Amino acid sequence: MNASNAAVRAVPQAGAYAANPVLDTDLTLALAVASKAAYTYFTDPQQPIVAPSGYTWRDSWTGWDAILLTGSVESFGLVFQSQAEPGTYIFAFRGTDSDLDAWEDVHFIPTDFVPTSNSVSPTPRVSSGFYGIYDGIGGDMSASMRQQLFALLQKYQPSQLYITGHSLGAALCQLFSLDVAVSKPISTLTASLNLNFSSPMVGTDNWAEAYASVIDASQSIRVYNYWDYVPSLPPSAFDYQAVGTGFRTAFYVDKEWFPHLLARHALLNLTAVLENALPLSPQQWQGTFQDQVPGETQWTMISTYPPSGADVRWADQAQTLMKAEAATAVKLG
């Protein structure tokens, strides 16, 4: 598959949600499998790695999760190589799976993003939490996540690179994509695609402008659930912006007033929707499926056609609700 045209065609399908591009089914699901494997490698490194079909697991990297005066070194991602096209690699980042990760997720005070080499204008302003994981060193680490990733590029010399991740991993993989595009660390790389899942916003308008200046919107795809709160983070007061092209799905728990945020955000549930929707034309699916999150009550999930119009800033609405509840509590107290 050629990353320049196989994964996405930014042309609306007849009758489809107008803003959705057309995704390559096999590649998109392979990247979801790779992202899931990155989670598994962190939670249970003794468990066998389930590689995407047609790929072989080759390597891994770590990152530093800092909180106040402490932190920990954690596994954050996996490298897979295509069996049919040895120059094709997947770099897959995992999402939030520890208390320290959650702290970084909400640390949205912006900081300057400095590429490994060269420069980009304007200076991207990104979440200090995400950037701290990407660029930080602690514990017994001898190299930051960024340095490890660039060393892996030098080691494997990919000609085609797919970069992916879910949630926090999606944010980190977009930092990596911009760094690769600006720094140009290897001469062998001829095609690169970022296709991520359920990403929060990574940086401010300067980040969005810098990202768009070096990465075409068709080469950076955000797959997400319309009803998921995470893609609306942080609240609009931070002036963050999403980058690339969005592919919108829509699913939620049947007959439940409570939002069930994890069920709406889970990669396994998003993957279940994509498995049904992507083979169709248009790539939309209406139906029901069982909640795939391990250990949760097995809710019945409903997938519908995505609503039209702009994304809802659910994080802002949650803040409004919390303020109303707090004001009511004061009156009652």
Give the pLDDT score at 66: 78
For the chain, the 3-state helix, strand and coil shares in percent, each to the nearest 5, are: 35, 25, 40
Distance CA 204, CA 186 (A): 28
Which of the four CATH numbers 3.40.50.1820, 3.40.190.10, 3.40.50.720, 3.40.50.10110 does domain 8-332 have? 3.40.50.1820
- Measured CA distances, 172 to 136, 142, 305, 311 (Å): 13, 20, 29, 22
pTM for the whole structure: 0.91
The whole-number average pLDDT for the span 287-291 is: 96
Q: Give the H or E element holding residue 135.
A: helix 128-135
Q: What angle do CA 67, 71, 77 make, to 5 degrees?
A: 110
Structure token pair of residue 16: 């489809």
Residue 261 has a pLDDT of 85
Share of the chain above pLDDT 70, in %: 86
pLDDT digits (tens, 9 = 90+) for 89-111: 999 999 875 343 444 445 789 99
pLDDT recorded at residue 15: 53
Mapping DSSP to helix (H, G, I), strand (E, B) and coil, where does residue 3 land? coil
Query: How many Cα atoms are found within 13 Å in the side-chain-facing hemisphere of 184?
Result: 7
Kind of pairing between the strands at 203-204 and 240-241: antiparallel
Question: Do 252 and 301 contact (CB within 8 A), yes or no?
Answer: yes
| DSSP sequence for 167-213 | THHHHHHHHHHHHHHHH---SS--EEEEEEESPPP-EEHHHHHHHHH
Half-sphere exposure at residue 9, Cβ-oriented, CA atoms within 13 angstroms: 9
Backbone angles phi, psi at 104, to 5 degrees: -65, -35
Mean pLDDT of 271-291: 96
Categorize the per-residue pLDDT at 12 as very low, low, confident or very high, splitting at 50, 70 and 90. Answer: very low
Between 124 and 317, whose confidence is greater? 124
What's the pLDDT at 37? 97
Nearest to 270 by CA among 224, 201, 221: 224
Q: Please report, for the chain, the start and end positions of each structural domain, with discontinuous segments joined by +.
A: 8-332
